Amino acid sequence: MNQPYPSQLLERAVGEFAKLPGIGRKTAMRLVLHLLRQEQSAVEAFGSAITTLKREVKYCKVCHNISDTDTCSICASPNRDASTICVVETIRDVMAVESTQQFRGLYHVLGGVISPMDGIGPSDLQIESLVERVKQGEIKEVILALSSTMEGDTTNFFIFRKLAPFDVKMTVIARGISIGDELQYTDEVTLGRSIVNRTLFTGNM
Amino acid sequence: MNQPYPSQLLERAVGEFAKLPGIGRKTAMRLVLHLLRQEQSAVEAFGSAITTLKREVKYCKVCHNISDTDTCSICASPNRDASTICVVETIRDVMAVESTQQFRGLYHVLGGVISPMDGIGPSDLQIESLVERVKQGEIKEVILALSSTMEGDTTNFFIFRKLAPFDVKMTVIARGISIGDELQYTDEVTLGRSIVNRTLFTGNM
């Protein structure tokens, strides 16, 4: 349904919203009309929050996580274990791991995974800077926490080979049955690997 | 899951997006990260499209439809039938009726329907200005095209009484079975009304 827009300003705003992933023209229209009903100041705040973020946001020069400062608050914190690095794909993964409160080390954000199909090679990712960090000799363990996909596995293997010359322990996060999952609905590969990689039962899960 | 944000600029942008209807914090994060990956100019265009719309948009002084000019293109057009007014709730309804290409008259956008539950009374809507338009005597027919809800019906009745003193034909859009609908899945009220309000079969639907 090709609707004629009564206003070019409206059409432009709807068009901009409709460029966002997962937002079609109908949803875009709904969001724009919602904003139109808000106060002028609220709309200005919305617009400026986006443009200011893009203009002023920094990426940590150590771990490449998003940051308001040159070195992010995690890398700068004296309370974190600087001998352990958790390698993740994106800043969302940093936030996901942080929210578990199970990790007190530092991070390294690759910016993606090796994916020849999408034209992403090792040089497009922050792999060299990871090697540099390890080369300095203070890192004792590198935890690979990438997606459990073919691309993630490829990237894991690539990093494994790159770091092989250095005296650093390399681990990968556990793959297995998600907590709360029922065995009968788990795919065979996951189930098979969870049997091969079984851990000693100690009574506390 | 209360995730710690690595950047206040990021948190602010996500917070602004999450204020939009139907957008939670996870979706907001996804949209913001998408925008972060775009060019600076694209993000500025997004921000300015919204703020410019809010700052510069006008509402037609005749029909209250959204417009770039004082009088909207529909009201200003010499090709439209100025003796018929279609009364709708919102500018989206104008676009919906326009897209059917079945109506060549003018519109009147009420800005909602009477809804005591939401604190919306007749004075919050553009009803007086509709009466003024009819009072001028050039309008021959007023088509009520409001939602088929209790609030819509209440508003229909209110407008009906307001316009009763004037020599104007008042009609309401047909309620009935949607085209393509199967009878067995239609609710009883709609089906009942569609039988009561049956029309003469002329061979062309």
The tens digit of pLDDT for each residue in A47-105 reads 999 999 999 989 999 999 999 889 999 999 999 999 999 999 999 899 888 888 888 99
CA-nearest residue to A75 within chain B is B6
Of A15-19, B112-116, B120-124, B171-175, the range with the lowest mean pLDDT is B171-175
Query: For position A164, what pLDDT does the model report?
Result: 92
Residue A199 CA to residue B8 CA, distance in Å, equals 40
Residue A6 CA to residue B95 CA, distance in Å, equals 8
> Would the CB atoms of B53 and A12 count as touching at under 8 Å?
yes
Burial of B123 (0-12, 13-18, 19+ CB in 10 A): exposed
> Would the CB atoms of B21 and A35 count as touching at under 8 Å?
no
Percent of chain A with pLDDT over 90: 64
Mean predicted confidence (pLDDT) in B177-185: 79
Side-chain half-sphere CA neighbours of A160 within 13 A: 12
Q: What count of other Cβ atoms lies within 10 Å of the Cβ of residue A160?
A: 13
In chain A, what residues touch B99 (CB-CB under 8 Å)? Answer: 1-4
Of B14-18, B78-82, B140-144, B198-202, the range with the lowest mean pLDDT is B198-202
Angle between helices A150-163 and A128-135 (to 10 degrees): 40
> Would the CB atoms of A9 and B51 count as touching at under 8 Å?
no
CA-nearest residue to A74 within chain B is B6
Residue A173 CA to residue A147 CA, distance in Å, equals 10
In chain A, what residues touch B77 (CB-CB under 8 Å)? Answer: none
Mutate to test the interface with A, among B1, B38, B51 (most CBs of A within 10 A): B51
Which residue pairs, CB below 8 angstroms and at least 24 apart, start in B170-179? B170/B141, B170/B142, B170/B144, B171/B141, B171/B142, B171/B143, B171/B144, B172/B143, B172/B144, B172/B145, B173/B143, B173/B144, B173/B145, B174/B199, B175/B148
Residue B36 CA to residue B85 CA, distance in Å, equals 46
- ipTM for the assembly: 0.78
In chain A, what residues touch B13 (CB-CB under 8 Å)? Answer: 49-50, 52-53
In chain B, what residues touch A19 (CB-CB under 8 Å)? Answer: 46
pTM for the model stands at 0.75
Q: What count of other Cβ atoms lies within 10 Å of the Cβ of residue A198?
A: 9
| B125 min Cα distance to partner chain A (Å) | 14
pLDDT surpassing 50 at residue A179: yes
> Would the CB atoms of B6 and A33 count as touching at under 8 Å?
no
Q: Out of A15, A19, A45, whose CB is closest to B16?
A: A45
Using an 8 Å Cβ cutoff, are B32 and B14 in contact? yes
Query: For position A3, what pLDDT does the model report?
Result: 52
Tell me the pairing of strands B105-109 and B141-144: unpaired
Mind spelling out the 3-state secondary structure of chain B?
CCCCCCCHHHHHHHHHHHCCCCCCHHHHHHHHHHHHCCCHHHHHHHHHHHHHHHHHCEECCCCCCEECCCCCHHHHCCCCEEEEEEEECCHHHHHHHHHHCCCCEEEEECCCCCEHHHCECHHHCCCHHHHHHHHCCCCCEEEECCCCCHHHHHHHHHHHHHHCCCCCEEEECCCCCCCCCCHHHCCHHHHHHHHHCCCCCCCCC
Residue B127 CA to residue B159 CA, distance in Å, equals 7
What's the pLDDT band for B133 if we cut at 50, 70, 90? very high
The tens digit of pLDDT for each residue in B77-89 reads 999 999 999 999 9
> Would the CB atoms of B35 and A29 count as touching at under 8 Å?
no
